[in-house]
Amino acid sequence: MNVNTVRRIKIAKTTKNKNILSIQEKLAYIKKRKFLYILLIPVFVYLIIFHYLPIWGLTIAFQDYNPLRGLFASKWVGFKHFEYFFRGRDMWRLLRNTFLINIYSLLFAFPMPIIFALMLNEVRNMRIKKAIQTITYMPHFLSTVVLVGMVFAVLSPSTGFINTIITKLGGESVYFVTKPEYFRTIYILSGIWAETGWGSIIYIAAITSIDQSLYEAAEIDGAKKLQQIFHITLPSIASTVVFMLIMRVGRLLNIGFEKIYLMSTAPVKDVAYVISVFVYEKGIIGGSYSFSAAVGLFNSIISFALVITANKISRKISNMGMW
Amino acid sequence: MNRNKSMSERIGMVIVYSILILFCSSIILAFMNVIAISLSGKTSVMRGEVTFIPKNVNFEAYKVIIQKDSVWSAYANTLFIIIAGTPLQIMLTCFAAFPLSRTDLVGKKFITLMLVFTMWFSAGMIPMFLLVRTLKLYNTLWALIVPGLISAYNVMIIRNFFQEIPSSLEESARIDGCNDARVLFQIFIPLSKPVLATVSLWVIVGYWNNYMSALIYIRNPKLYTLQVVLRNIVLTGSDISGEVLSAQENDEELLSDCIKYAAIIVTTIPIMCVYPFLQKYFVKGVIVGAVKG
């Protein structure tokens, strides 16, 4: 392959006109850059085995999967498992719990890193700023087990400092983690506690890239701090916010398994039962592979649809989106 | 730019600082609460005297934890996963990132799509579980390594970094006769050490904190990893063999809370100690990945 072909390939790629390259030229490229494709072989193998094969394996959602018979020989039952799920008594409770926790989380937890970034931006002293960042980033690195352990510790009726404060103020200590009415609050608040600091990084980065002269001009025009924030800072980071919001909305039906599972004490089970835990209990523990796979598939498809929809809406409203 | 702050701005700053300090305090106090109880004597704890400052400091709870075989084997298992898994992950991630960083790669769109699609849609718990079983990885530590070997997110980060490497470097190397392999191994990888370090840190923390995979894929108690053992201790006050954790302190049973909290601290101390020094690497990774990606 001579220099001209290389140039043609480069032009082809940059002008996005795939028709410029013929099959022969493509094959010649592959042959010349064999090494690149050799590198990609293990990558392909991995992706196929561990991502695409399982996706194909989702077909057990439409079968009565029998491990002894395997994927091909198990009986085909169509939408039976989906119907069973939709008619079952669990579905509404699961959907309600999953949805509610996520909506509250969206309302309360999502804005926190943004507000935190705005506040941190006002801190002038670099040392204090760094100290705050170091401290607030730390909880993000705690494992879920440790986080839940600490939450339970801090809320402990006997030794936790929350209850100590309550009793010192004259109240009675509350066994928070056994009360269903507190579950969502605890779940979301602990999430805010752990992730606000870390989640603000991306917003801080966006804020620092704002042109400082905008602020100077605004000050000359007499704008106060709050006005500056509303008219300069927020619009400038709007695209970042939208991006993060879409990612968040896409996860609306996807409550992570770990934290809920670890926080589920028996009394709160009714509010804490979410789809991911359901799939775990019915599938991994209970062995109803087809049924739980069907529920999981239902979950994934809705999430997928949500991301696409959220992106479309955002495109329509603000001309910004993820792609 | 020194302008006299108006009253409302001063109040605003006071509020901002108060909230920030309150938030930071909640983090510090939470840790102090847990550490204090783990270090305190039983009677003081039971009398409710201990909140942030330990009383009757003793390390009995820690001794119990440290002497537990299950804790040691859990540490060993987790370390094995980290030592085996991290180099593999980095290697494969670079293998994916390097070709994708070549602008003229034939099939680039297809390969990128194949990779990015995994970020949007995954098959879920059950098919993965069945796959792991079919591949005979179930109940081995490899089940915690192999299924997560390539993360599209990490590939993007490294790919973007490779793309930022000035093409002049590569061109002069090619003029000197370097082929793709040497460009990758002798130029790109040495130049990428900071990014690779950052990604490695991500990976290591991920392995350290992993709970769900270990819960699902491991049944053999000898292979339990750190978080699983910790979970058992914190939840039930006994370790995986069902034996209740206890120790004698002044001829009295140690409070299970003390032991539980000591377990929490023991499991998380390495991360907490290492983190402040490596913070800037972690932060950089987020920015590089998100702002560019």
Burial of A242 (0-12, 13-18, 19+ CB in 10 A): buried
**pLDDT value of position A321:** 52
Same domain (yes/no): B6, B85: no
Report chain B residues whose CB lies below 8 A from the CB of A156: 257
Same domain (yes/no): B9, B73: no
Contact flag B230-A13 (C-beta cutoff 8 Å): no
The answer to whether residue B162 sits within a structural domain is no
> CA A271 to CA A95: how far, in whole Å?
11
Region of residue B138 (left: phi > 0; alpha: psi -120 to 50; beta: else): beta
Same domain (yes/no): B143, B15: no
Instruction: Name the H helices within A3-107.
Output: 3-14, 23-32, 34-47, 53-57, 70-73, 80-87, 90-104
Which class in CATH covers the domain with range A89-318?
A: mainly alpha
Q: Which two tokens stand for residue A232?
A: 């300069």
Same domain (yes/no): B80, B145: yes
**pLDDT value of position A88:** 85
Which residue of A136, A159, A280 is in closest CB contact with B257?
Answer: A159
Of B223, B196, B215, nearest to B89 (Cα)? B196
The answer to whether residue B23 sits within a structural domain is yes
> CA B231 to CA A264: how far, in whole Å?
13
Same domain (yes/no): B258, B137: yes
Which comes out higher in pLDDT, residue A192 or A302? A192
Does residue A250 surpass a pLDDT of 80? no
Same domain (yes/no): B74, B22: no
> CA B286 to CA A198: how far, in whole Å?
9
The answer to whether residue B292 sits within a structural domain is yes
**pLDDT value of position A316:** 76
Q: Indicate the pLDDT class of residue A253, thresholds 50, 70 and 90.
A: confident
Q: What residues of chain B score a pLDDT lower than 70?
A: 1-5, 238-254, 288-293
Q: What are phi and psi of B103, to 5 degrees?
A: -65, -25
Domain count, chain B: 2
Domain span including residue B40: 1-58
The answer to whether residue B187 sits within a structural domain is no
* Residue ranges covered by each domain of chain A: 3-82, 89-318
Same domain (yes/no): B237, B136: yes
- Whole-number average pLDDT of chain A: 86
Mean pLDDT calculated for residue range A39-56: 93
> CA A22 to CA B35: how far, in whole Å?
68
Same domain (yes/no): B129, B224: yes
For the entire predicted model, the pTM comes to 0.85
Answer for the pair A148, A262: CB distance below 8 angstroms, yes or no: yes
**SS3 of A62, please?**
helix
Same domain (yes/no): B49, B66: no
Same domain (yes/no): B75, B1: no
Contacts of B259 (CB under 8 A, 6+ apart): B38, B61, B64, B65, B233, B237, B245, B246, B247
The answer to whether residue B37 sits within a structural domain is yes
Same domain (yes/no): B273, B224: yes
Does residue A209 surpass a pLDDT of 80? yes
Contact flag B264-A219 (C-beta cutoff 8 Å): no
Same domain (yes/no): B68, B129: yes
Of B64, B52, B48, B10, nearest to B27 (Cα)? B52
The answer to whether residue B112 sits within a structural domain is no
Contacts of A297 (CB under 8 A, 6+ apart): A58, A61, B124
Report the percent of chain A where pLDDT is more than 70: 93
**B289 to chain A nearest CA, in Å?**
10
Provide the strand spans (E) within chain B. Answer: 248-249, 252-253
Other residues' Cβ atoms within 10 Å of the Cβ of residue A104: 14
The CATH number given to whatever domain includes residue B234 is 1.10.3720.10
For residue range B135-158, list pLDDT tens digits in order: 999 999 999 999 989 998 899 989
Nearest CA in chain A to B124: A296
Report chain A residues whose CB lies below 8 A from the CB of B290: 202, 205
**pLDDT value of position A75:** 83
